[in-house]
Amino acid sequence: MREKLSLTILVAMFLSACVEKTQHEDAYDPARDYFSFANTEQFVTQHLSLDLVVDFDARELRGRATLAMRKLDSAAKDIVLDTRDLDIGNVRILLPGGESVTADYQFGDSDRIKGTPLIVGLPEAAAAATDFGLQLEYRTSPTSTALQWLPPKLTAGGKHPMVFSQSQAIHARSWVPLQDTPAVRITYGATIRTPPELLAVMSADNDPLAPRRGEYHFDMPQPIPSYLLAIAVGNIYFAPLGEQTGVYAEPELLEASVFEFADTQEMLDQAERIFGPYQWGRYDLLVLPPSFPYGGMENPRLSFITPSLLAGDRSLVSVVAHELAHSWSGNLVTNATWRDGWLNEGMTSYLESRLMEVIYGEDRVDEERVLSYQELLLDLETVPPDMQALAPRLDVGDPDDFQGTIHYSKGQLFLQYLENAFGRDEFDHFLSAYFDTFAFRTITTERFLDFLDEGLLQAESSTIGRADVEEWLFQPGLPEDAPRPSSRTLEDAKALAADWAARKIDTADIPVASWSPQAMVHFINSLPADLPNDRLAELDEGLGFSDTRNAEIGRTWFIQVAKRRFTPAYEKLERHLNRFGRGRLIFPVYLALAENGKDLELARAMFAKARATYHPLTDARIARALETARTGS
């Protein structure tokens, strides 16, 4: 996934996690997934088969899931699956001989974050079977946390409805009853029945030429963790980008998408050259409506992407490099639990920077490294120390809230540190061996550490040892010898911000035409805190920040507008909040309004008007933050 959350909410989340932190005090096991009810040590799923009807009127998926199960513990009698708000009908066990028997089931106690365990008793007739099928008839709830049902008016075309999923971190259980933990990998197949004029796509073998007929078949022959299950249905069309790559989008967005993501095939070719073979066949993008909650989601073979990247100048495509890089780190080698999330996100952020460097050059990637480093430094000021380790203790809270810059940016910096220590050639060699050794497996931080130790740290020439690495993995903050990214072009932008504020140069003399959007972001963030509103007005008039087409510049500007209470731009700030639904672009703007001491009620009023267009995950996150925000004195 590509999203680093704003920090303040993380802090609130961590603090509430600390309060709850008594339940597992004694026997914390870093390898255990505390966010799943599934008894995976007794039963493990090997294949999932779905047959589902997509009902836009009822806002539900309904049909059948069949799980191919293997019993690991001969004494085990109950299978526990993860569910959230699923209505379960008939449950049957399919025996190896072809017979099937009805199974009893019951729900366990619900948990606000984890959902509800479904406990299926194995009938007597199945007691001796090691391999069997578990078939469940079910329907989803209209409020499924994974699914957003968009009425036609919230799509680009305005004529057809759309639905799409977001399963990471623990939302697959709200559209399929299953063992919802990254520790279990499954292959899957699906038949999806839709209104005939719409197209269904999944994180599977999409056929770009599939005729529209209201019934679509999918096969995913490579084993994936449940958080990579994905579906979207809508008025979606395909256009090729390269030999193996293409883009799906509503027809209204297709041309712009083809232009913006034209470098995708080259990214894939370069990624193969550096990290080893791409193992998934095709790589396509699906550009979703604005309410898609994240920058991108690395659903295998078909990354889901926010339309906020359509800046018209390819300046925001690092998100595509990121999602593509997940085809190695995350999708191929997967974190065993959400506590090891840096193995997915830190590694991917590092690979992303390598791809950006080879395609767009060092200046561009230096800029992106510095911006991400600065977000990290801000986070380190507020995140409680015990949550600053790359692999902290994580047994309470909501894994969705655990995606701060620690996993992304500190993880990236750690890998940069290893590259610096061993040299790029040797480190690339290590990475290829890592992807090769653990392909289609899930691993813990401890296993990574052992592999690194054997592969690099123990070499006689190594200048760093296991203790240095353990400091990164298990200690707060940054080690003293951590890399410090720098960017010549961002330094220039910062110096110009100071000169302009001191009236040494005029607005017209700021060389914005030669700047990247990243330099512009840095310029805005470098403006002195005490700048009066008339000077902000001058800047906005001269450089047109409030009307920018670039979502990242808009985000940065409107955060400052809210923090500084630059009220003349509030109307356009509200337009920004209505135009985008991606959490990164709007959440910190709401938060800045809520925390400027005057505008909490205004933030709540703007949210009340806009929230119908937001995704359930984004909506819940903003609602929570605005509820708990304190009114200024």
Contact 355, 271 (CB under 8 A): yes
Minimum separation from the CB atom of position 256 to Zn ion (A): 24
**Cα gap 65→139, rounded to integer Å:** 10
Query: Which one, 37 or 328, has the nearer CB to Zn ion?
Result: 328
Query: Which one, 322 or 572, has the nearer CB to Zn ion?
Result: 322
**Cα gap 395→236, rounded to integer Å:** 40
Query: Which one, 117 or 411, has the nearer CB to Zn ion?
Result: 411
Query: Which one, 155 or 203, has the nearer CB to Zn ion?
Result: 203
How, if at all, do strands 43-55 and 185-193 pair? parallel
Site for Zn ion in 346-405 (CB under 5 A): 348
Query: Counting contacts by CB under 5 A, is residue 297 touching Zn ion?
Result: no
Query: Which one, 17 or 347, has the nearer CB to Zn ion?
Result: 347
Query: Which one, 189 or 293, has the nearer CB to Zn ion?
Result: 293
Tell whether the torsion through CA atoms of 33, 36, 42 and 48 is positive or negative: negative
Minimum separation from the CB atom of position 348 to Zn ion (A): 5
Query: Which one, 132 or 328, has the nearer CB to Zn ion?
Result: 328
**Cα gap 527→555, rounded to integer Å:** 15
**Cα gap 282→211, rounded to integer Å:** 19
**Cα gap 283→323, rounded to integer Å:** 10
Site for Zn ion in 323-352 (CB under 5 A): 345, 348
Minimum separation from the CB atom of position 583 to Zn ion (A): 14
Minimum separation from the CB atom of position 297 to Zn ion (A): 8
CA distances from 496 to 18, 39, 504, 520 (A): 43, 59, 9, 11
Minimum separation from the CB atom of position 295 to Zn ion (A): 8
Query: Which one, 175 or 294, has the nearer CB to Zn ion?
Result: 294
Each residue 45-84 as x (binds Zn ion by CB under 5 A) or -, in order, gives ----------------------------------------
Minimum separation from the CB atom of position 322 to Zn ion (A): 6
Query: Which one, 327 or 560, has the nearer CB to Zn ion?
Result: 327
Query: Counting contacts by CB under 5 A, is residue 1 touching Zn ion?
Result: yes
Minimum separation from the CB atom of position 435 to Zn ion (A): 16
Q: At what angle do helices 7-20 and 616-628 cross, to 10 degrees?
A: 80
Minimum separation from the CB atom of position 299 to Zn ion (A): 11
Catalytic residue among 250, 323, 367, 368: 323
Residue 323 phi/psi, 5-degree rounding, is -65, -40
Give the binding-site size for Zn ion (rule: CB under 5 A): 4
Contact 56, 163 (CB under 8 A): yes
Q: Give me the residue label for tokens 């800045």.
A: 592
Contacts of residue 251, defined as CB under 8 A and 6 or more positions apart, other chains included, come to 157, 235, 237
Catalytic-residue membership of 408: yes
**Cα gap 120→128, rounded to integer Å:** 16
The number of angstroms, rounded, from the C-alpha of 212 to the middle of its chain's C-alpha atoms is 30
DSSP string, 208-262: TT---SSEEEEEEEEEEEGGG--EEEES-EEEE-SSSEEEEE-HHHHHHHHHHTT
Minimum separation from the CB atom of position 46 to Zn ion (A): 26
Minimum separation from the CB atom of position 275 to Zn ion (A): 15
Query: Which one, 1 or 271, has the nearer CB to Zn ion?
Result: 1
What are the structure tokens assigned to 580, written together? Answer: 């985008």
Q: Tell me, what amino acid is at 559?
A: I
User: Measuring CA to CA, which residue among 352, 44, 383, 102 is closest to residue 223?
Assistant: 44
User: Measuring CA to CA, which residue among 326, 350, 336 is closest to residue 445?
Assistant: 336
Each residue 421-460 as x (binds Zn ion by CB under 5 A) or -, in order, gives ----------------------------------------
Query: Counting contacts by CB under 5 A, is residue 309 touching Zn ion?
Result: no
**How crowded is residue 77: how many other Cβ atoms within 10 Å of its Cβ?**
13
**Cα gap 377→371, rounded to integer Å:** 10
What are the structure tokens assigned to 517, written together? Answer: 């959007």
**How crowded is residue 487: how many other Cβ atoms within 10 Å of its Cβ?**
24
**How crowded is residue 97: how many other Cβ atoms within 10 Å of its Cβ?**
7
**Cα gap 105→89, rounded to integer Å:** 10
Taking phi over 0 as left and psi of -120 to 50 as alpha, with beta for the rest, 544 belongs to left
**Residue nearest Zn ion, CB atom distance:** 1
Catalytic residue among 360, 408, 434, 614: 408
Q: What are the residues binding Zn ion (CB under 5 A)?
A: 1-2, 345, 348
Give the catalytic positions in this structure. Answer: 323, 408
